[in-house]
Amino acid sequence: MTATIQLEKIVDNCNPLAIRIESCQLYTSLSKEFQEASAKNIHLLAYLHGELSKGESLPNYVVQLSRDMKKIENYNFIYPVGDPLFVNLCSNPAGGRAIYSIIQPAVPPKTDALFDMVEEALAYVIDEKHDFETPKEQEKILLDLLHSTVLIDDSLSEVGQHKVQKRKKGFNIINVNKETMSVLEYALINEKIGMGIIEPLMRDPYLEDISCRGVGTLFIEHKVFGSCESTIEFAKDEPLDHFVMKMSERIGRPVNIRRPIVDATLPDGSRINIVYSRDVSRNGTNFTIRKFSDIPISATQLIQWGTFDSTMAAYLWMMLNEGMSIWVSGETASGKTTTLRAVTEFINPNAKIVSIEDTPEVQVPHENWIREVTRDSEEAHTSIDIFDLIKAALRQRPNYIIVGEIRGKEGNIAFQAMQTGHPVMATFHASSIEKLIQRLTGSPIEVPKVYVDNLNLALVQGAVRIPQTGRLERRVLSINEIAGYDQTENRFDFVEMFSWDPSSDTFTYRGAGSSFLMEEKIGPMRGVDSRDMSKLYDEMKSRAEILERLAKMGVTNYWDLWRSIKTVSKLGVDRSLNLLKAGQKL
């Protein structure tokens, strides 16, 4: 797009009705994909006209983002997040956070009366027979009802213009034009099924966190471009409070002055924390949403991103396949849950797993998976906490217990579970192996020091600044084997098997031929003679090569990798590797 293109005169502040595709010079200058998107969503073309009329440059249209784009210093992209929604993401010329703008159908001013009439008509026709089980079914029902009460009349020329056909009995029929019908469809679904003003953010698969600090703009954490400032804002307390109350009621955890703090799970699995009212939040009601992908990140993706390397992944594969207990530790936003979800694929495919969480975040690919969550209640005797669920899990004979996050006294019960032969995976807040042990042995967990070695592995992860790029990335800082507690010396013995080298952004394998768990646990379990322990290290190398080859072949989807891991479990490591070397897929 060059500056020589003449813009057509657009009336009504880039009203989509004023734009005609067949005579639009801007439209003909767009790429083919951009044209297709604009033809289906005329508000996108209107947005482009508006940007150019303000002297802004034309954004590049991309269907899919990649992590390599984070290397671009000055960028201006538009990408789709599901019709009719698009995002314009551009770097800030003044420095600081990128600007994140939503492109969506504009709701014309002075349409409140029309929406009220439509809601009244829908309320008249909807009844108990319009039952649904999924959001898709609910959407179809709502649209069918809308089309039965609102009819298209092409004689109406303006968006928002309408006529009412009065009836003596029953509801009134409302006439609107085609463009108004599109606006009504979008607004109805967005309000009744979606998340209202933040629905575009919820649809964006590239977002990690959505943060509303109170009155003002919303901030987001983007998977590719980091921290961004959105153009969505709450200008006053009243609409913000109303939005939060409505959202909390929909998820069954209503907030109020008496109960101003709520942790809950949204319908899509995202986790939300709400702090309600200025009584406890000086800048007004605030909320934070932590989003999770529908498809979890896989181990091969983490290898490609540099979170850990293939040798570390192969080592974890062997440990988890043999039932070792591991806790993924780190500070807030270090990527603990993402790593935990990725490495669950390494647990034996035939294992029975019980997961226990406050808010469901863990994803397990195994068929025999029992998923349990806590229950919070104002009546203490009806609440079920993690402590209760771990005790119950011990009676369910699982091969693995996965605890979403251990924070308090439930940690002691988790160690009792490990002591009785139940491997436990969990996330834990501690930035080093030393601090992890300090927290375990201190209040309120209070694990006896001599029991700490029931935890076989501690993986420490962090969000670190990469010297070569200056960007913030997640890295596994170390993987440590806990060997035991020396009562004479009053110290804990652990072996740092892997460590991250910040100067080169690479990983150092320190445990070659000296793994305590490999030689004292896994070897005897497999009946491997002490003189043949090298076979275990050779197997680890083969598993690492399998993961490397799978990554190069593009097997990065969580479920695709799971199918390959099950094949390796069935065929064996050597045969699977030979198939890959021959160019065959698992």
Closest CA to 218 of 145, 288, 297: 288
The residues near 582 (Cβ < 8 Å, ≥ 6 apart) are none
Where a domain ends, among 100, 129, 147? 100
Contact yes or no for 511/536 (Cβ under 8 A): no
Give residue for tokens 């170390």: 478
Where a domain ends, among 100, 128, 143? 100
Q: Say if 364 falls within a structural domain.
A: yes
* pLDDT for res 378: 64
Q: Which two tokens stand for residue 262?
A: 């709520």
Closest CA to 255 of 275, 282, 232: 275
Q: Please give the single-letter amino acid code of residue 280.
A: V
For residue 460, the domain's CATH number is 3.40.50.300
Pairing assessment for the beta strands 353-357 and 400-406 based on DSSP bridges: parallel
* pLDDT for res 469: 79
CA 356, 360, 361, 366 dihedral sign is positive
Closest CA to 352 of 310, 395, 388: 395
* pLDDT for res 377: 67
CB atoms within 10 A of CB 51: 20
What pLDDT digit, counting tens, does each position of 394-428 carry? 889 999 999 988 988 888 889 989 988 999 999 99
d(CA 40, CA 292): 29
In whole angstroms, what separates CA 99 from the centre of its chain? 21
d(CA 358, CA 360): 7
Contact yes or no for 19/49 (Cβ under 8 A): yes
d(CA 26, CA 45): 8
Residue ranges of the chain with pLDDT lower than 70?
1-23, 108-110, 168-169, 377-381
Q: Say if 56 falls within a structural domain.
A: yes
- Helix (H) / strand (E) containing 98: strand 98-103
* pLDDT for res 380: 60
Q: Say if 487 falls within a structural domain.
A: yes
Closest CA to 392 of 380, 408, 375: 375
Q: Say if 334 falls within a structural domain.
A: yes
Phi, psi values for residue 227, rounded to 5°: -75, 130
CA 58, 60, 61, 67 dihedral sign is negative
Closest CA to 104 of 284, 193, 278, 232: 232
Where a domain ends, among 100, 123, 156? 100
Bridge partners for 262 per DSSP: 274
Give residue for tokens 């069918």: 144
* pLDDT for res 14: 45
Q: Say if 278 falls within a structural domain.
A: no
Q: Say if 96 falls within a structural domain.
A: yes
Closest CA to 324 of 337, 335, 315, 332: 315
d(CA 96, CA 88): 17
Phi, psi values for residue 317, rounded to 5°: -60, -45
Longest dimension (CA), the chain: 94
Q: Say if 549 falls within a structural domain.
A: yes
d(CA 209, CA 207): 6
Show the domain range for 408: 299-581
Q: Taking each helix axis as running N to C, give the angle between helix 42-53 and helix 32-40, from 0 to 180 degrees, rounded to the nearest 10.
A: 110
- pTM assigned to the model: 0.81
Contact yes or no for 229/163 (Cβ under 8 A): no
What pLDDT digit, counting tens, does each position of 298-342 carry? 999 999 999 999 999 999 999 999 999 999 999 988 999 999 999
DSSP code, position 292: -
d(CA 14, CA 45): 9
Q: How many domains does the structure of the chain reveal?
A: 2
What pLDDT digit, counting tens, does each position of 187-223 carry? 888 888 888 899 999 999 999 999 999 999 999 999 9
Q: Say if 369 falls within a structural domain.
A: yes
